[in-house]
Structure 1
């Protein structure tokens, strides 16, 4: 026995429809908002998810996701339209926008980043190293050797230094040591 599920029914107020149509037709509307507004408008015109997905060249699960999200938000949107009509457009944008993603957790602590900054401000000569200035690769190696981090890429060092606008490779150091000449005094 095949079970068919009914797609969420969507009804729009005149103002909601106007906002969605403007998004759908907008030449400067971001594509994701335009596509999602189009899905909602087609759903209110009686199309099922399969028809919308075919006509829009989208995966049926995408159509179902946005149709369901709108259906679950319909009551809140209607309430906003009644109580704060000026906030309706923003509420519709919010419903049709992607949810915030958590992203990858930070790998380096603020303390480790600060220690790398401190290291970059020190002269390699003060650490008895055989070079006159830091490169991102040399800083990465030195940070590992000093136990600041277990491992770090050159790119991560570069990001940290750029964030603090530090340029250790451009530090003002004399290429030739300045020698005081006692006869010039």
Structure 2
């Protein structure tokens, strides 16, 4: 067994599975979601079984930072880093499935099912370039914000900000590495 940090230990609602994050010491990018049956405790890497491309050289690998079983032992909701954001994804734990991002607006602080044992809608706490604190209800299957409950800056309006002011671009860096950047533009910015 190699040196690692194990965190985010969770049991599935039916008690049949246990899951945890396995992070090799000094390699946060190598984070893995390990699952095991509570009967055998033989842990396996969820992504090598479910999403074969993850961990197999896929450049789009965004390791999980946290997860919760989403009402049963067959679905999880997880946070991961993606292009400068912390996003929420749902993953069905079945062969060939891939994570489906349903919230990618800023960085997630926390998320909770809106109703006990029902992960169709989640309460999401997040922040962004234009709002330091945002609480929203998000429909998971539709990947849509249903309602904004609280916003520290009225979604930027208090300070004359708007989501349209934030843009992003990519450029080729050293050794052909693609670099991602955010840019905040003034309201009167002329793209021409």
Same fold per TM (> 0.5)? Answer: no
Structure having the larger proportion of residues in strand: 2
TM-score bracket, shorter-length normalisation: under 0.3
Higher relative contact order (CA 8 A, sep 6+): 1
TM-score w.r.t. the length of structure 2 is 0.24
Question: Which is higher, the Rg of structure 1 or of structure 2?
Answer: 1
Structure having the larger proportion of residues in helix: 1
